[in-house]
Each structure stands twice: as structure tokens, then as C-alpha cells.
A and B are shown apart, each in its own frame.
Chain A
Amino acid sequence: MKKNNSIKTVVAVGIGAALFFVLGRFVQIPSGVPNTNITTQYAILGMLATMYGPVAGALIGFIGHTLIDLSWGGAPWWSWVIASTVVGAVVGFMGKKLPIHEGVFGKKEIVTFAIINVIANAAAWLVVAPVLDIAIYAEPAAKVFAQGAMAAFVNSVTAVVIGALLCIAYSKTIAGKGSLDAE
């Protein structure tokens, strides 16, 4: 059983990174603010990290984000790639106790999921990304923190709203323990 899980993690990272890539690269929802689009990949990252754990989450963020950057034709912007990695790792680490796999995702789990995702996104975009931007690229602090705040806000909202809705919908597809009633 243990073996199978590790193979599953390998595959989940691969497919997860592919999903992250497709959503981040091609799927954009207009946010209402001109030229600013909402991308949904952090919702999927939050969900998959919760399901497959911190290592899978970190790798999905890292591989997916690196591929997105490469596909735009440049060298990866490593500071933000690492920030995505942090989001996956933190959500996976704090969310591994959530029983999505058993088909349970009620009010309590939704609140926990939301808090975890906000913490992870805040840590990544308000701390990791700007600090690395300053260290590597020596960009003005005001600019990188403004960008970070924007990213933290947008990604938290998508992760919480879309991610939670996805988790609820997914958990309903799994028959939970003791869901049979004796007649």
C-alpha cells in the first residue's frame, strides 16, 4: 500500500503540474480591473496539496510555475517560482489532516481550508516573493511589496472561493464512511 502511494504521488505531481500549467497559462477570468486577470491555478494547487501532502504540493507549484515561465520564453523568475513552491508546501503541510479523501468537507473543514490557504498565500507573496525579488533583482521595495500584496489578495481569494467550492463538490462524489442506511 505504501508503495502504491508513492507512485500515486509521482503521478499526482505530474498531472497536477500539467493542470497548474494549463490553468495558469491559458485560463484567465477578467477581474473587472483592466488588464488584470484572475488565474485559477492556485485554487487547484490548494486542493491537490491538501489531497496529496506537502511534498506533492511543493513540487506541483515548483514544476508548474517553472514550466509556465519557460513557456513564455524567458528564464524562470525564480523568486516567484519559489513562492509558488512555498504555497504548495504550506497548504500541504497544514492541510493534510483534512478528510477530503473520506468524502467529508463540512463547515469546519471549509473554514480550516480557507485559513490555511490565506496563511500560505500571505507567507508566499508578502514575504518570500518580495524578499527574494529584492535579494536577487534589487528591485525597489515599494514595488515588490505592492505586487506581492496584489498577488496575495487575488490568489487567496481564488484559492479560498474556487478551491473550497471544488473541494466541496469533489467530496460529494465520494461515498463517505457509514453512508449506507439500514432500512
Chain B
Amino acid sequence: MAAKTVLNYLPRKSVVHALTGTTKLAFFLLFTFAGMLTYDTRVLLGLLVVSLLAFRVSRIKVSEVRFMLVFMLIFLLLNNFFVFVFNPNQGTEIYGTRHVLLPLPGRFAVTAEELFYLFNITLKYFVALPVAMLFISATDPSEFAASLNSIGVSYRVGYSVAIALRYIPDIQRDYHNISQAQQARGVELGRKEPLMKRLRNAVNILLPLILSSLARIDVISNAMELRGFGKKKKRTWYTKKPFGRNDYLALLLGVLLLAASIAITFADGNRFYNPFM
């Protein structure tokens, strides 16, 4: 059920899918950092174009990721709303001018600067969205540990991530079973119970889950020890793919985007692009 909506890999024959997991991870990180550092509207728009093109060539359909898209849009709208309510003059503070568009009472006058600032926040988050979705839906989870290891993360940490991905569905199923069993015995987490009772009931559900998870930790670590895990400093990966021409091109593109983003953004000594001056 719900497990399907989580990190769902959509296998496909496309240029993006054919890249190694390492490339995808490295590109994803380079790209998100480029988007995170800058607040320059021109850079953000440029990154958005790259991001959308990458999504296009991956042959993943918008309808397949609609759930994520809708969720993100609602989140962004709410976030913008709160940013505005808490400080409607943040835009003016950043850009240094004030053009009132809609004179609402008190400090809530809508200014062009504030709207432009909100547009930039949205853009900043939106830029990373297609690349993030691609990263999730075009990377084979079993390749993920190998990719982490090959960008320099310790293989033990890579293994932890692999274990997490592997056991999320199991733990979800455990949780579901335990909570149904407890509900059958009258343990309720809903609004019918007072808050403290709800928290105590949560413990009644969580405790069996924790105990079974701790038992799982023992079983898995014993199995790994029997197979000699952690004996050597390095290890090889069954799922690791060799680098191809496209991998080098994608990495080069990632590095260039980051460099360009930094260069353009900080050329005038200010993170923001200011159309008002």
C-alpha cells in the first residue's frame, strides 16, 4: 500500500537510467548545492531549465510523480504564506526598495519586492525538484550503497543506508501488524483519547516494534559477522557499473553548473539578483 509511494524506482530505458548510480548521486549533490548557494534569479532560472531537460530525457512521465508534485506545491504555498505572515517586509529589507502594489492595513502591504522574494524562494526549491525526483525514481536502490562508497563515503555507512532501504518495508509491515493487534485490544491513537493517554498508547505500539527491531539488529549483525563483514578496509560491489562517456559528461556538467552558479552569484558580492536598483 503506502510503501509504493516511498522512493519508488521506475525502471526505464533512458540516458539518465543508463548513468551509473555514482554519477547520479554526485550530480544530484552538485546540483542541489548550486541551487542552495545562489539566490540569483538568473542562475535559478538557468538551473531550472537544466533540471527540466534532465527530467525530459529520463522518459519518466509527470503522471507517475504527480503525488510528490502536488504535495510539494502545497508545502511551498504554505511555506510562502508563513514567510509572508511573519515578515511581509523581508523583500524590502533584502532589495532595499519599496514599491507597494496592494496597500493592505498595517504592515501587511503587498510590495513588489516581497512578491519577487517569494518567487525566488519558490524557484529555489522548485529548481531541485525535478532532479530530486529523477534521483529517486531513476536510481536502482541496490546500486545506492556502491555509489555512496565510490564518492568517498565509508562503505560501512553505505551499508547502513542499504540496510535502511532494505528494511523500511519490513518495519512498515511490522508496525502495521502491531498497531492492528493493539487496536483490537482497544489501544487507540486517535482523537477519542486524551493527549497523555494517546502518548502512553503510542508506547504500547512502539515497544513491540523496538524489541523486534533490536532482535533484527542482532540477527543481521551476526549474519554479517559470519560472512566477514568489516574485515578489510575496502570492498567491491556486485552492482557497481563502470563509468562511461556520458558519466564523465554529466559530472562535468554538474561541476560547471556549480562553478557558474558561484561565479555569477558572487560576482557582484551579493547573493541576490536585484532588479529594483
Q: A36-47 toward B: CB 8 Å interface, digit per residue (1/0)? A: 001010011001
Q: Is A74 a contact of B128 with CB atoms below 8 Å?
A: yes
Q: Answer yes or no: A179 CB below 8 A from chain B CBs.
A: no
Q: Is A14 a contact of B210 with CB atoms below 8 Å?
A: no
Q: Is B230 a contact of A70 with CB atoms below 8 Å?
A: no
Q: Answer yes or no: B100 CB below 8 A from chain A CBs.
A: no
Q: Answer yes or no: B266 CB below 8 A from chain A CBs.
A: no
Contacts of A178 in B (CB 8 A): none
Q: A10-B159, A73-B65 are in contact. Are A64 and B90 (CB under 8 A)?
A: no
Closest chain B CB from A25 CB (angstroms): 7
The interface residues of chain B, by DSSP majority, are classed as: helix
Q: Answer yes or no: A80 CB below 8 A from chain B CBs.
A: no
Q: Which of B27-74 contact A (CB under 8 A)?
A: 32, 35-36, 39, 65, 67-69, 71-72
Q: A14-B163, A70-B136 are in contact. Are A26 and B172 (CB under 8 A)?
A: yes
Q: Answer yes or no: B221 CB below 8 A from chain A CBs.
A: yes
Give the nearest-CB partner of B33 in chain A: A78
Taken together as a complex, chains A and B put the C-alpha atoms of A59 and B36 apart, in Å, by: 22
* Tier of interface size on chain B: 35 or more
Q: Is B160 a contact of A73 with CB atoms below 8 Å?
A: no
Taken together as a complex, chains A and B put the C-alpha atoms of A38 and B6 apart, in Å, by: 21
Closest chain A CB from B26 CB (angstroms): 15
- Interface size (A, Cβ < 8 Å)? 60
Q: Is B36 a contact of A73 with CB atoms below 8 Å?
A: no
Q: Is A140 a contact of B217 with CB atoms below 8 Å?
A: no
Q: Which of A1-35 contact B (CB under 8 A)?
A: 3-4, 6-8, 10-19, 21-23, 25-27, 29-32
Closest chain A CB from B191 CB (angstroms): 5
Contacts of B146 in A (CB 8 A): none
Give the nearest-CB partner of B65 in chain A: A73
Contacts of A26 in B (CB 8 A): 2, 172, 175
Closest chain A CB from B115 CB (angstroms): 15
Contacts of A18 in B (CB 8 A): 163-165, 167-168, 170-171
Output the residue of A75, A142, A170 with the most chain B CB within 10 A.
A75
Taken together as a complex, chains A and B put the C-alpha atoms of A139 and B207 apart, in Å, by: 39
Q: Answer yes or no: B248 CB below 8 A from chain A CBs.
A: no
Q: Answer yes or no: B109 CB below 8 A from chain A CBs.
A: no
Q: B9-36 toward A: CB 8 Å interface, digit per residue (1/0)? A: 0000000000000000000000010011
Q: Answer yes or no: A82 CB below 8 A from chain B CBs.
A: no
Q: Answer yes or no: B199 CB below 8 A from chain A CBs.
A: yes
Contacts of A141 in B (CB 8 A): 87
Q: Answer yes or no: B240 CB below 8 A from chain A CBs.
A: no
Taken together as a complex, chains A and B put the C-alpha atoms of A60 and B35 apart, in Å, by: 26
Give the nearest-CB partner of B137 in chain A: A73
Taken together as a complex, chains A and B put the C-alpha atoms of A26 and B176 apart, in Å, by: 10
What residues make up the interface of B, taking CB atoms closer than 8 Å to A?
A: 2, 5-7, 32, 35-36, 39, 65, 67-69, 71-72, 75, 82-83, 85-87, 90, 94, 121, 124-125, 128-129, 131-133, 135-136, 156-157, 159-168, 170-172, 175, 189-191, 195, 198-200, 202-203, 206-207, 209-211, 213-214, 216-218, 220-221, 224-225, 229-230, 271-272
Q: Beyond the given A10-B224, A141-B87, could you list 8 further A-B residue pairs with CB under 8 A, ordered by the A residue number?
A: A10-B221, A18-B167, A44-B206, A67-B165, A71-B6, A71-B7, A140-B87, A169-B203
| 21 pairs, CB–CB < 8 Å, chain A vs chain B | A4-B225, A7-B225, A14-B159, A14-B162, A14-B163, A14-B164, A15-B171, A15-B217, A18-B165, A19-B210, A21-B168, A26-B175, A38-B199, A40-B206, A47-B210, A63-B164, A70-B7, A73-B129, A73-B132, A75-B131, A166-B207
What residues make up the interface of A, taking CB atoms closer than 8 Å to B?
A: 3-4, 6-8, 10-19, 21-23, 25-27, 29-32, 38, 40, 43-44, 47, 59, 63-64, 67, 70-76, 78, 136-143, 146-147, 158, 161-162, 165-166, 169-170, 173
Closest 10 CB pairs of A and B: A73-B68, A14-B163, A140-B87, A75-B128, A143-B86, A13-B160, A17-B164, A14-B160, A11-B221, A75-B132
